Amino acid sequence: MSESLVNKYNVAGPRYTSYPTVPYWDINTFSLEQWKDSLKQSFAESNSKEGLSLYLHLPFCESLCTFCGCHKRITKRHEVEAPYIKALLKEWSLYIDLLGSKPKIKELHLGGGTPTFFSPENLNFLISELLKVSDLAEDYEFSFEGHPNNTTETHLQTLFDLGFRRVSFGVQDYNKKVQIAIHRIQPFENVKNVTELARKIGYTSVGHDIIFGLPFQTELDVIETINKTEMLMPDRIAFYSYAHVPWIKGNGQRGFKDEDLPSAESKRQQYETGKYLLEKLGYTEIGMDHFALKSDSLYKAMKNETLHRNFMGYTASKTQAMIGLGASSISDSWYGFAQNVKSIEEYYHLIDEGIIPVYRGHILNEEDLIIRKHILNLMCHFKTTWHTKATTFSELPEVLIKLKEFEHDGLLKFKQKQLIVTEKGKPFIRNICMAFDLLLQRKKPNTQLFSMTI
């Protein structure tokens, strides 16, 4: 990655877990009834064939990590677990009533927050109750995010017994100075312990999250973190850039000064060094920010071209519908997006009133759906085509003209109404997707909404 290309393309841009991106949702014309109709349509089309994905947002954490951009509630009071679980189950029952028949779950993911803030007994109750009113797809996959400091053997065994086979642990960086800056102190021994416990119990995919571009972080820190990671060889690794967006996340990302962050050039070097070391260890880059061993389902999905991307990140298979439960969760019917209220108190109030707690969303029009497919193709497969009427839109010629500059820089190539991203272009995939993002181009934001692309 040349310095001149970094300087040229290092701009603020979306990570494209959705299109349209959240800041460009048409919330003024959106309604809860529209969302319900779009979900019922999607459910009728897809439940019997593939099932749906279910995301549970468990927002509680005992301490604040200052790198985190998630919606969370900091507390050490574990009596908050029971009422939150009660509300999740009530929300699920509202969706069951709406859909009118038993949903088939293909994917279930526990995120947060810190899912392992909840006791094993409470997690067992929550998942067991959810499954009582659901069927399971033949090839279902359950996964959760575990904190190395508080994920116990009982957590791992309890969730394994419920059908969980994939777990990811947030590592970030092993340097003590960096850990202090981001308020996430966890020794290597803690990560080693939970990784080995998960494998002993029988988990088939153990993942580690590593971040570059953190405050005080250097290239040597990335090298040291990956050297220690080699001792454990997790099945998949999320290796991604720290998104510095304090204007959105407030004081949570003001635990250090801007000048404590690495420069764009330093971040570039951290990424390139990390990628080189991971590939040397036998990992393959999957989509954006992800690496996997050839034995992992994420790698197999890339090879089979079944890789999918949604608000849960990259997944090994696609479901048309994804329902998010819990405060701030986002749902996706393919035809529309809907986000729950962020305040836990407001979430409880709406649930008690028997109202699905959505407060904003977006219903996709025909143009949105076409562009969404192109961006999804690029993010998952590094290529897209426009051979048919269903894959073309009125401003496609202008988009292709914009992409000529990327072609000139060697980041992509054209071949018979097909765009293929080159190896050189993969680190710039967000920029290439931005050329398709008509909403971003039509309405440039007055303030910075997104993190930098490099």
What's residue 258's pLDDT? 82
Q: What is the phi-psi region of residue 249: left when phi exceeds 0, alpha when psi lies from -120 to 50, beta otherwise?
A: alpha
Q: Where are the domain boundaries for CATH 3.80.30.20 in the chain? A: 25-363
**Would you state the CATH architecture of domain 366-442?**
Orthogonal Bundle (1.10)
Q: How many CB atoms lie within 10 A of CB 268?
A: 23
pLDDT of res. 448:
57
Distance of CA 222 to the CA centre of its chain: 22
% of the chain with per-residue pLDDT over 90: 79
In angstroms, the CA 317 to CA 139 distance is 10
Report, as ranges of residue numbers, the positions in the chain whose pLDDT lies below 70.
1, 244-255, 445-454
Per DSSP, the chain holds a count of helices (H) and strands (E) of: 16, 19
Q: For the residues of 177-246, what is the DSSP string, one character each?
A: HHHHHTT----HHHHHHHHHHHHHHT-SEEEEEEEES-TT--HHHHHHHHHHHHTT--SEEEEEE----H
What is the reported pLDDT for 236? 97
pLDDT, tens digit (0-9, with 9 covering 90-100), for 353-404: 999 999 999 999 999 999 999 999 999 999 999 999 999 999 999 999 999 9
Element at 3 (helix H, strand E): helix 3-9
CA distance 65 to 164: 26
Which pLDDT does position 247 carry in this prediction? 43
Q: What is the mean pLDDT of the chain?
A: 92
Instruction: Tell me, yes or no, if the pTM score tops 0.85.
Output: yes
Contact 54, 322 (CB under 8 A): yes
Instruction: Note the pLDDT of residue 242.
Output: 87
CA nearest to 177, candidates 221, 114, 226, 142: 221
Predicted pLDDT at 312: 82
d(CA 426, CA 342): 34
Q: String of b and e for 274-290 (b: at least 16 CB within 10 Å)? A: bbebbeeeebbbbbbbb
Protein fold of 25-363: pyruvate-formate lyase- activating enzyme (3.80.30)
- Range list for CATH 1.10.10.920 in the chain: 366-442
Cβ contact 141:88 at 8 Å: no
Is residue 328 within 8 A of residue 340, CB to CB? The reply is: yes
| Beta-bridge partners for 310 | 313
